[in-house]
Amino acid sequence: MFVDHAPFQGNGHRARQPIDADLDTEDEYLTLEDAARHKSEWIGGEIRAMAGGSESHNLIAANTVAALNRALVPQGCRVYGSDMKVHTGGGANVYPDASVVCGPRVFYKGRTRIITNPLIIVEVLSPSTQDADLGEKWTEYQSVPSLQEYLLLSQDQPEAWLYARDGDGWRFQSVRGLAAGIGLLSVGVTLALSDLYSLVEWPTASAAAPCPWRLFRAALSSSLCRL
């Protein structure tokens, strides 16, 4: 039985936590997921409950899917929202906030809800999910051979971080402010942050929020994060 044990956080998110389910194999997880009312992820041999999103999180994710669709559908690319799962080279099955496939789709085990060849993956960061998005999920995403760019968006202010594949490593870029844009070289498109953050409201105009700690080293060469 699917049991969601993830407690609510103050920002409207629930932390991803292991579900109390007796599962030994990925196939058992996939069977459970097919019948479940709620989404879950399979990481490191464990099933994880998915978090519910705040209004800001949902707006940013929806705006990003819309912006990518406008730019990439004419190129023949498919843009998926958070209901499309990605199977990684490390054996995880996870739900990014958005993903892009250009060219033929490659489905996992014939399941049309799971792709294996995304070109771009997008995650909207929140305090309760950023450790996973910058930790174990990012590790898993790097094992996807087709992945060229990993775009991370803050839900607290108009700010974007991008990891772009560069040979055996990854280049890092960060931008901030509604006048800025973030370039996705793999598809030749620049996304305006004003589009990604359209209609998003923040409670107060506060000082810049700190960078997620896993981005600390990359941010040392940038003035865009308050360290």
Q: What is the pLDDT along the chain (227 residues), one digit of tens a residue?
A: 233 333 323 333 434 444 445 566 877 878 777 767 678 787 877 888 776 778 999 999 999 999 999 999 999 999 999 999 999 998 999 999 999 999 999 999 999 999 999 999 999 998 777 887 888 899 999 999 999 999 999 999 999 999 999 999 999 999 999 999 999 999 999 999 999 999 999 876 554 555 665 564 544 444 444 43
Helical (H) or strand (E) element with 151:
strand 149-154
Distance CA 126, CA 115 (A): 24
Q: Write down the pTM of the prediction.
A: 0.81
3-state secondary structure at position 116: coil
> How would you class 199 by CB atoms within 10 Å of its CB: exposed for 0-12, middle for 13-18, buried for 19 or more?
exposed
Listed residue (193, 113, 104) closest to 153, CA to CA: 193
What number of other Cβ atoms are within 10 A of residue 205's Cβ? 6
Q: Which domains does the chain have, with CATH numbers?
A: 54-198+208-219 (3.90.1570.10)
> What dihedral angle (degrees, nearest 10) is formed by the CA atoms of 111, 37, 78, 60?
-150
Could you tell me the sign of the dihedral formed by the alpha carbons of 95, 169, 217, 205, in that order? negative
Per-residue model confidence (pLDDT) at position 38: 75
Rounded CA separation 69/75 (Å):
10
Other beta carbons within 10 Å of 96: 24
CA angle centred on 23, ends 17 and 27, rounded to 5°: 110
